[in-house]
Every structure is written in structure tokens, then in C-alpha cells.
Amino acid sequence: MPLAPAMAADDIDFVRGCWATRATPGGPVDGFLRLLPDRERGDRLEGHAVAAYGDPPPVRLDLSFARDGSALGLRRPAPGYEALDARLPSRYLRLPQVGAALLPRAGGHVAAYAQEDAKDWIVVKAYDERLTIQQIDAEGRVAVTYFDGERDGCD
């Protein structure tokens, strides 16, 4: 699937804020994701998904969204390691042709990203005060859920 830069990409501010994950509904918080404007580069929303435990808590995911929604930077720890290393984030470009059909219900937001010539892609969905970030494989199935949590006010 060829990538085209999103010339007038939708606003990605729907991911902005603080989010929390729980192993069971209503259970204790086991992780946090905070996505806020970068202080030095206001054109990006940046943040980390971290565990709710540990000192310091291990970072599970590094994210950086262009504020216009055109690009996503994503970095995970190397397999077998809990901490992030010095690798640069993987860069994904917006797939403007992916529409609201990916949403589980009306009233939400969706953004899909892929790398040039990649068979998998990243889908970011927000609905009913929930945020989900998943890797979708070539067959359209969820391969990895990077984050699935609910809004936890911080902004």
C-alpha cells in the first residue's frame, strides 16, 4: 500500500492527555500514558507509556505524534529488555484513506499509520474516553496491542 503524506491531516489532539490501563475493569491501575505537547517543539505530542510500579517505573512505549496528525514515532524496548535503548523511534506516516470504518462505534476518532512498503500498520482509536493503539497485521488482525486504556485527567 503506497503511502501519501497527509497534506491536510486530521488533528491528532484526541490522543492528548493522560491515560491509565487496568488489568481488570475497575481494578488497580497498572500503567500510565501521558501525551502532552513537547515543551521544546510545540508541533508534537510526546509521551511514554510506563508501568505503575517500579522505581523508576519501566517505560513500555515511547510515542511522538505530529500535531497535524501526519506522522507517528514509536519505540518499544528491545525483546528481552524492560528499558528503552538508544534506538531511534520507528517512523510511520498517516494513511489518509483509512476511514471511520475502523471504529467500533460512532462518535470516536481514528488515525492509521504505516511505514513505506510495510505489510502491517498502526491504528490509534479513541472513543468513549478510551484510547487504543494497536499494530494490525497484513491480514487485518490485531498483532500487538501497545496500549488500551481510559482517560485519567492530568491536563
Q: Does 144 fall in a domain? A: yes
Q: Check pLDDT > 70 for residue 96.
A: no
The continuous run of DSSP H or E covering 114 comes out as: strand 109-114
How many structural domains does the chain have?
A: 1
Q: Does 6 fall in a domain? A: no
Q: Does 28 fall in a domain? A: yes
Find the length of the chain.
Answer: 155
CA 71 to each of CA 10, 21, 49, 79: distance values in angstroms, whole numbers, following the listed order: 11, 24, 18, 25
Q: Model-level pTM?
A: 0.81
* Cβ atoms of 102 and 77 closer than 8 Å: no
Q: Check pLDDT > 80 for residue 37.
A: yes
Q: Which three cell numbers stand for residue 30?
A: 497498572
Q: Does 91 fall in a domain? A: yes
Q: Does 7 fall in a domain? A: no
Weakest mean pLDDT among 30-34, 75-79, 131-135: 75-79
Q: Of the candidates 130, 132, 109, which has an alpha carbon nearest to the alpha carbon of residue 11?
A: 109
Domain span including residue 69: 13-151
